[in-house]
Structure 1
Amino acid sequence: MTSANETQPLPAVVRLIATDLDGTLLRDDKSVSDRTIAALAAAENAGIEVFFVTGRPARWMGVVSDHVHGHGLAICANGAAVVDLHAGGRLIEARPLERATALRVVRALRDAAPGTTFAVELSTGIHYEPDYPPFHLDPGATVATAEKLLSDDGPDSTAPVLKLLAQHPELAPDGFLALARAAAGHIASFTRSSPTALLEVSGKGVSKASTLALCCAERGISSDQVVAFGDMPNDVEMLTWAGRSYAMGNAHPEVVAAASGRTVANNEDGVAVVIEEILAALQA
């Protein structure tokens, strides 16, 4: 692995920058630095599209909504939703987790890891079980068993399920992920972005990478024209897919192994550092 301040080849043509948010573009205090804001704007002015690709739901995109240029689209919920940030997070496309499949995952994890609690992220909001750590940003959530939340008479029963969240109070994060994939990885996609034992479950084949690939195909952009940034396991597929990818200085070891390069940490504006290098190369 190389770092962003070492000589390394950039794609001959960069048409799109895809960046994760938490731990990547955002500093630890959830702010976007002035340097990063300027770099994003300069990239767009140079004709390079910028996609925010995150595990966050659309309603938590206020941290970057003021910094959206051009198309205004973002990929949320680990690829399960494409939203228009210019229209307040309006859902453009959903790649849902079928409710019947979500129920199968719930049963499998209850058997494989007793003590697991669940939350259900719908396109309309999140709901969770009584023992699940509460989302203080979502005070209107329904609290009930996952089976009830996913039933035909559960809250917003016609809304797409964007992801299922599974939390365990005792297991190690990576161990819980490995266990869950062994128990139900044949029916759904499992990943994690939290430092705790919190898993994110999407429809089989749904990931940041697969949805980004669809968005790029619509624009005639190939993977070798994409530069991607990330820090956690939910970024691995995207970093592997992109022609050039960077693990942040604070990245998980799996991310470091998957990326083709490294940059400095999120608190040191690692994304901006690379964007500035890309723009300097264009002007050379």
Structure 2
Amino acid sequence: MTSAIDMPSPAVPRLIATDLDGTLLRDDKTVSERTIAALAAAEEAGIEVFFVTGRPARWMDVVSKHVHGHGLAICANGAAVADLHADGKLVKVRPLGRDIALDAVRILRAAAPGTSFAVEMTTGIHYEPAYPPLHLDPGATVAVAEKLLREEAPGAGAPVLKLLAHHAELAPDEFLAVARAAAGDRAVFTRSSPTALLEASGPGVSKASTLALCCAERGISPAEVVAFGDMPNDVEMLRWAGRSYAMGNAHPAALAAATGRTATNGEDGVAIVIERILAGL
């Protein structure tokens, strides 16, 4: 696969879809001045920019001020669309059914003993005592997953966006393979963390499928989209977009899915491609 610098300038797109962690963001979770300028220039040229991430809406503050125009971001691997101009208000939710989540918990407990779980809802995250939370949430409920997913009455609980599963001993890709083999017919399993932390969404829910819905609402075809990503949760989006770029630091699955390759997130790989697109106008 050639690098982005060796490739001819891509055709002018109508929409740029970019992952955040490991892609648009540097390793210190900031956005470089060069990238900020490239995003603003793309919007000024009439190209919409969508942030498409595994992060929940409440963790979008790092880029919220860089969303112009529509103000929308696709969060939680496609389970939610948030309006960042309205403090992350969710305008579209594609939930994971609690019955499906409970099935996934049961199956993974048997297939990979030692798995611990967290449940991401529209109201926040809740987790099991053994689950290692990445960010301490004072509002979280700590209990076994079966209790976290139980409702007092059908429909009474907040919608579930995704189920998270962590294993302290399995290698990340091994854990993903185990989960897909055991419960892949129940939910969509992927990963974006360098650790053995999996994310499960409802059937058919992914970054790609929600991006496709948002594009269809705007009359934008896959051929008019340029996408960027670096991890397995970006694979479907990279395949769906007419032109896609895996980062120089990307997982092999993302590299295989993309039509091109750019520099690493620390080298402003997204900005390099955007600048080349705009230079061709």
| TM-score (normalised: structure 1) | 0.97
State the AA in 2 paired with 1:97.
Answer: L
Aligned: 1:148 with 2:130: no
State the AA in 2 paired with 1:93.
Answer: K
CA distance in 1, matches of 2:136, 2:64: 17
What residue ranges of structure 1 are gaps of 5+ in the alignment?
Answer: none
SS of match in other structure, 1:5: helix
**How many pairs align?**
280
State the AA in 2 paired with 1:31.
Answer: T
Q: Output one character per residue of 1:89-119: Cα deviation in whole Å (capped at 9) or x when no partner.
A: 0000100000000000000000000000000
State the AA in 2 paired with 1:233.
Answer: P
CA distance in 2, matches of 1:233, 1:194: 9
State the AA in 2 paired with 1:273.
Answer: I
CA distance in 1, matches of 2:74, 2:22: 17
**Which residue matches 2:84?**
85
**Which residue matches 2:104?**
105
Give the superposition deviation at 1:134: 2.5
Give the superposition deviation at 1:68: 1.0
| CA contact 2:9–2:277 (8 Å) conserved in 1 | no
**Which residue matches 2:260?**
261
**Which residue matches 1:29?**
28
**Which residue matches 2:6?**
6
**Which residue matches 1:276?**
275
**Which residue matches 1:120?**
119
CA distance in 1, matches of 2:252, 2:61: 29
Deviates more, 1:132-141 or 1:250-259: 132-141
| CA contact 1:150–1:157 (8 Å) conserved in 2 | no
**Which residue matches 1:74?**
73
CA distance in 2, matches of 1:252, 1:135: 21
**Which residue matches 2:55?**
56
| CA contact 1:151–1:157 (8 Å) conserved in 2 | no
| CA contact 1:19–1:229 (8 Å) conserved in 2 | yes
* Closer, same or farther: CA 9–36 of 1 in aligned 2, 3 Å: closer
Q: Output one character per residue of 1:49-105: Cα deviation in whole Å (capped at 9) or x when no partner.
A: 000000000000000011110100000000000010000000001000000000000
CA distance in 2, matches of 1:253, 1:135: 25
State the AA in 2 paired with 1:6.
Answer: D
**Which residue matches 2:192?**
193
State the AA in 2 paired with 1:248.
Answer: M
CA distance in 1, matches of 2:156, 2:179: 26
What residue ranges of structure 2 are gaps of 5+ in the alignment?
Answer: none
Give the superposition deviation at 1:140: 1.6
| CA contact 2:34–2:271 (8 Å) conserved in 1 | yes
SS of match in other structure, 1:92: strand
Aligned: 1:163 with 2:162: yes
SS of match in other structure, 2:118: strand
| CA contact 1:228–1:238 (8 Å) conserved in 2 | yes
**Which residue matches 2:227?**
228
Give the superposition deviation at 1:137: 4.0
CA distance in 2, matches of 1:71, 1:138: 29
CA distance in 1, matches of 2:135, 2:263: 32
CA distance in 1, matches of 2:176, 2:133: 21
Give the superposition deviation at 1:7: 2.7
Give the superposition deviation at 1:5: 1.0
* Closer, same or farther: CA 207–239 of 1 in aligned 2, 3 Å: same
SS of match in other structure, 1:176: helix
| CA contact 2:248–2:261 (8 Å) conserved in 1 | yes
| TM-score (normalised: structure 2) | 0.98
Aligned Cα root-mean-square deviation (Å): 1.2
State the AA in 1 paired with 2:59.
Answer: W
CA distance in 2, matches of 1:42, 1:261: 22
* Closer, same or farther: CA 119–157 of 1 in aligned 2, 3 Å: farther
Give the superposition deviation at 1:187: 1.0
SS of match in other structure, 1:276: helix
CA distance in 2, matches of 1:207, 1:256: 18
**Which residue matches 1:39?**
38
Give the superposition deviation at 1:10: 1.2
